Structure 1
Amino acid sequence: MWLPNLLTSALLVAASVASTPATIQTELLYQPVASSSKPIELARISYDPVSLRSRVISYTPPQLSSSNDKDADLIRIGAYPEPNSWVGVLSSLSVFKPSSTLPGSDVPTILLYLDSRNRVYHVGISSQSSAAGTQRTQAGKPSGVNVEVVRSEPAAVPQLNKAIVRRADDEGEEQEEVPFVNSLLQKYWWLLPIVLLLAVGGGGS
């Protein structure tokens, strides 16, 4: 009896492992607006689409510009979820500028927005640190950047022809549902083509 039970347990474990999605890696790039150079790797991040946990594999902050030109302070941050398909955001280099008063307190946070297929469809950047604290690399060192994975939620669908609930004026009065009543046009819309047909036919004669 123990052999069939052992085989059944092994099959269940194998099925659970196969059904659990592996972590996904994504590469974030940045490109100065005033430069025509190719995008440079900003970070390489792995994330779990189920638990929404993430880990920073590598992170290289962009070099701060000493120019007074406003365009020199702007960079594009994003990713290529598909070839020739860029998704990203326009940001300022000041987001990556370390604080001189409280070092480590202003670690930027990268936001990864996932679609229904667990792909990154939008990238965001914030100068505020994450509430979960500073993330660490695989070597256990502070990564210098935080990552938050956000899953998109389906939009609310309006419910049509739903009864209206009238709020009670007094605390002791019970709420009352007012039944939905169709308007005159909704009741007799089918008469409009007939009237129009009679009007057109009568005018021709």
Structure 2
Amino acid sequence: MKPATILSGFAALALASFANASERTATIYIQAVTAKPATPAPLAELQFDTLSPTEAQILTYEAPDLPDEAKLVRVGVYDPAAKQWSSSTSVASVDNFDKGYSPTLILTIGQSGVPISAAIRGVRIDAGQTRDFGPQAVVLVTTPGKQPDLNKPVVLSPEGKQVVPEEKSMLQKYWWVIALIVMMSVLGGGDEKK
């Protein structure tokens, strides 16, 4: 076997594993907010790609069976093994699951692909506008914020106000160009014609 064939095979394998490394899944759980809260139950499983989060898909969705006295629900990513929420949670009204509303699951992830928070909102369905009544998924990826410019001292006047530097005139900015032109015209002589 040729070494180039082996090398191209390894490159293809590495590229395929890199493409699959960005695909992730997250399970969103729901818990009714009542006097005696029950264990959170799975609501939906989302598949998303950290490189193209707009193509998120809902793999499974189980409509919640909520008690009649529940008015609010808690939504988030839950770890059943540790029995604790592994992301921040949001509280939503049970009206988001009423007839005439389509649930939209919103998952916020960090740049590494780890879920940070989950939320749900019900979007009113207009039967004349759309044929897709099922749940939708939206994945938001956080981006780093603008960092402050450090090591630039702020100049203050004796009164404590910020000093704004004055704008230089054209002569102050380009005096060296004028000096160069004058020097070239004085020192630069041409051939004398006889």
Indicate the residue corresponding to 1:149 in structure 2.
139
Partner in structure 1 of residue 64 of structure 2? 62
Q: TM-score, normalised by structure 2?
A: 0.64
Residues 1:91 and 2:97 are matched in the alignment: no
Q: How many residues align?
A: 148
Shift of 1:78: 1.0
Cα–Cα, structure 1 residues 89 and 157, in superposed 2: closer, same or farther, change >3 Å?
A: same
Going from structure 1 to structure 2, the CA distance change for 1:73 and 1:44 (only over 3 Å counts) comes to same
For normalisation by structure 1, the TM-score amounts to 0.61
Instruction: Tell me the CA shift for residue 22 of structure 1.
Output: 4.9
Percentage of identical aligned residues: 22
8 Å Cα contact 1:107-1:134 kept in structure 2? no
Q: What's the RMSD between the two structures over aligned residues?
A: 3.0
Unaligned runs of 5+ in 1: 100-105, 136-141, 163-179, 186-205
Cα offsets for 1:106-133 (capped at 9, x unmatched): 422111101132111111222237xxx8
For residue 94 of structure 1, report the CA deviation from its aligned partner: 0.7
CA distance in 2, matches of 1:62, 1:182: 60
Unaligned runs of 5+ in 2: 125-129, 159-194
What are the within-5 Å matches in structure 2 for residues 1-205 of structure 1?
3-20=2-19, 21-34=21-34, 35-52=36-53, 53-63=55-65, 66-67=68-69, 72-80=70-78, 83=82, 84-86=84-86, 87-99=88-100, 106-128=101-123, 144-160=134-150, 182-183=155-156
Counterparts of 2:40 and 2:91, CA distance in 1 = 13
Partner Cα separation in structure 2 for residue 181 and residue 124 of structure 1: 42
